Each structure stands twice: as C-alpha cells, then as structure tokens.
Amino acid sequence: PASNLGLEDIIRKALMGNLEE
Amino acid sequence: VITKDQQAFMNVILDAYNRHQIPPDVAKKLLQEQYSAEENFLLLTEMATSQVQVLVEFTKHIPGFLSLDHEDQIALLKGSAVEASFLRSAQVFSSKMPNGHTEVLEERIRKSGISEEFMTPMFNFYKTIGELHMVEEEQALLTAITIMTPDRPYVKDQQAVERLQEPMLDVLRKLCALHHPHEPQYFARLLGRLTELRTLNHYHAEMLTSWRMN
C-alpha cells in the first residue's frame, strides 16, 4: 500500500513511469 | 515587457501545472463526510501520495528539468515535495470551492490527529497565500521555482539548477509588475512566502511523527 512507501520511493517510481502514456 | 519566448516558456509551465492535478476521484473522497479516524489517516496518506505523483509529473515538464543529473532530479523533488504540496494545498484552500466544501476539508484536516502546534502555522500559511490573490501563472511559476531550488540537500550540480531557476524568477518578477502595478512589493511578498514554506518544511518531520503517534 502507498502508506508504506517512503517519499523517495514514490518519487523514483513516478519519475520512471509515465502516467500520461 | 514579457518577450514572446518568455510567454511561450510560461505557457509550458502553466499548461503542465493545470494538467497535473490530484485526480477528481481521489479529491472527491475527501468530501465524503462519514469516516473513522483510521479511514481519515489512510485517506490523507493516499492524498499525500497522489500529490507527490502529480508533482513529479508536473516537474518533468519544467523546461530543462529532465536534462539534469538523475540523482539531482530526485534530490530536488525530495527536497521540495513538502513545500510544493503545502503550496498546492494553500491554493486549493484559497480557491472558490462549492458551498461547505472548505469547511468539510478544514474539519477533516483538523481532526486528522496532527497536533495543534503544527496546525496553526499551516492554516496561517494557507491564509497568507489566499490574501495574495495570485493569478494562475504566478501560482504555477512559484511552484516551479520552489522545486528548482539549488540549495536542497544532496544536489551536486547547483549551478545547473540555478540556470533553470533564474529565467523563472525573471518571468515571475515581470508578471508581478504587470499584474500588480500598484504593489511594488508584491514580488518580494511572494518570495517571502517561500521562506515561510521552508519553516513549514522544517517542522514537517516532527509533524508526521506526532501524527503517527496520535
């Protein structure tokens, strides 16, 4: 769950992925 | 005078800012009135996560950001996520919401378990941002400037970040003069909010600890 992810994990995942595609 | 290039530059940032907002289905959940303390905690956590994801998507579109060193990109986002989120929330609070929404939202945050000593400066910040009556270009640029702050911890190439931040400061200064011709201190007031944001950021870790404990 998102609540277990740290800020850096969320940032890294979001930087790698592309929500718009 | 804002040049054509500056106008185009500003449009890119504004467009990205407007396109990357918290998804309506997540935002809508905030306004559902029935919730237990645990549901409230989980929902606010979901909101915070969503806000960071949206922030990253916005940041990818800030001209030059993706050309920075990858670890510097992460350092910038890590260093600014809290401040940029406070800024976005402040703008949500000072925007016109349908009747009663502001109250529901405020009550939800007040009942979240965050201690009062952190709540007061946060709502004060929301209030001072509201009093500035920023136009959306100013909001978008101020958020981008907050993210592109060179002196965040672990940023290796500070000069590269500075080179990206400067043109944004320049456009913002011109915009302020154009939109607020009778308030020569307006640009300085905006920058003053960034200092206030740093203080909020500083207290944020303590705030999270107190929140988890409660």
pLDDT tens digit sequence for B53-73:
999 999 999 999 999 999 999
For B21, B153, B162, B182, the CA distances from B13, given in Å and listed in that order, are 13, 24, 17, 26
B98 vs B192 pLDDT, higher one: B192
pLDDT for A5: 61
Query: Looking at CA atoms only, how far is residue B142 from chain A in angstroms?
Result: 20
Residue B105, amino acid: L
B77–A11: do the CB atoms touch at under 8 Å?
yes
Q: Which of A2, A14, A20 sits opposite B46 (nearest CB)?
A: A2
Nearest CA in chain A to B53: A14
Instruction: Nearest by CB to A7, from B46, B73, B81: name it.
Output: B81
Inter-chain CB proximity B53 and A19 less than 8 Å:
yes
Query: What residues contact residue A10 under an 8 Å CB cut-off, 6+ apart?
Result: A2, B49, B52, B53, B56
**pLDDT score for B20:** 92
Distance between B40 CA and the closest CA of chain A, angstroms? 12
Does the CB of A9 have a partner CB in chain B at under 8 Å?
no
Q: Is residue B204's pLDDT more than 90?
A: no
How far apart CA B109 and CA B73 sit, in angstroms, is: 30
Output the pLDDT for position A1: 39
Q: Which residues contact B137 (CB under 8 A, 6 or more apart)?
A: B10, B14, B175
Residue B213 confidence (pLDDT) above 80? no
Residue B37 has pLDDT above 80, yes or no: no
What is the maximum alpha-carbon separation in chain A?
26
